[in-house]
Structure 1
């Protein structure tokens, strides 16, 4: 029945997957390289079907209560005078979408899973060896164990993907920019606004939510040739950002000083993960490990929540048959991934290549045209019209009615407790 499932990565996708697997009667173990939850990070958007997932988990009220209340973007010159503003709230398609700080969402997911999921912090997968009836896993620190399935939810630089699918160079597509974020002194930014300062090919900014005492600094710079660096070497990352922004005016010096002192400083390439398949035998991927759309898409949390929900649900609907479940998971989720990986003008808006481009951006932001363009983009954007499957009721019950022998075996092992009546 593939009951014992190892998940690598305790972020949004990994914890959401663990929640639903436990809910469906599986026994998930979640291993995380960090010694504790990674509670830093930027703002993430819960929108579309991700709202449905969060509501079914019972955490949507908390998400709304902890929402970041940023009003929009303010573009400033070197003297810190605002030259253009975009009211993001006025351009939203409605009141349903919520932005929440990534660390707050991760903490909510941990509270929802900690009593039903085995967490192993401070360790990571070293090797995977698949066989016909399971996966032998060795760890960097803990003893070797055996699982029925292994799921990589360990981000763009996924260890599971490298071990089961091959080197990341085969799947990562660089988009020409690098970004970093860190904690920042809130006094440097305007309350409830994202303040951005540009020079050609670079952006430094500060994100200040009125609901959070801690502000966030952002740095983005363009580079046509890819940089060579170790994605785990934080000191190297700090040097790269310092060199890229050395000598810039506005408040860059103060923001850099705070970033260099922040132990949770984060840096990486603005890239996407594109794969022909998200599974290999008894190993599958979810979230950024499988289909990172890049921070410029604003869709990372949405893809993680919906993808994890679908993967767990398909495993339940298939009574743990991973071959059937992995195929259905990909068939159901691929369309949304393809939509979200089509990045619009976000990067060009934040990081104009030239002074002329910056002038055009600022001019457009001051005109009603920007709002009209946003309205047209919302109208023309593909809509997720198909309802999200309800695996707790429709999919699982229907499948078990059609496969009574699987229902009997599943109930005998404690699976599908919510479907007993429908499948009997």
Structure 2
């Protein structure tokens, strides 16, 4: 012990130097520092078939990043490379992710969204683009068949879509759900009990299992199966516009999934998306300026939210509270068009002849898309008054 004290006392600079060196090492020691993932995209919006460059600009205080993994979210394999050039084969919105790893195994991930548009022009068939069609609205109006034309066919069925087409109904409304295996199917309810031969929760059954059920019409089984969103879009393409209601899951991620299904079929300008959530509406409009959003504006809160959006949704879904000139005059003047219900889930039957005061009230309050369970009746009524926009 004395020797130790003697050394320390006789050579104090040795101890101080050692401590100083250790302190210096601690101040500059960075081994095990976490990487920070980041990358650049040459074109945040591009087109199918065109190569897009992705450049890694990740950092690590140790400068020891050893692995970069790229996930392009389009079904292609994960790619390992410092930088990448990727070609998307389908239109859609893709959340591209870069995961980096350093020598000690620390990882970090960064994600950015890229929009891929179709190079080919849409095949509108008998239609024009929905934006162009909306510009023609009022005083003439269009008809939307609620849950497809289910006066003579099961609701949300391919038969209901075909009936709407044959009867020259302008728009069919459909409701989307996700199956257990993440397939987009068409069903209003969370379960199949009311509309099919089975009683199952949609989210707990695979698409194949759901396809074993038959849709009901007035309680009687039919030959129609639960359709997928893709099947409905293909049936409607170039023949009837589609209003997609996904409001049971008002998240932008869910709507983005639906958008990709629509974009892959080059139908973005043949559909519109209904939501009650301004953040989802804004997210869709920010994603793709060609998107048409139908935004709920049926009460004061929703109306104010719709009115304060920038950019504004072009279609507002009104209800009884907002269905008057106090709410419609200014938005209408600025180019907003209105959507409202007539005879939807209603115990009131439309008149067999003479004036239809419910429809007249909608037209008088500048509604130019009428959603209904009796589309043929309202189409014929408007047509007789030269108020139907074919």
TM-score by length of 1: 0.21
Scaled by the length of structure 2, the TM-score of the pair is: 0.22
Whose RCO is larger (CA < 8 A, sep 6+)?
1
Whose helix fraction is larger, Structure 1's or Structure 2's? 1
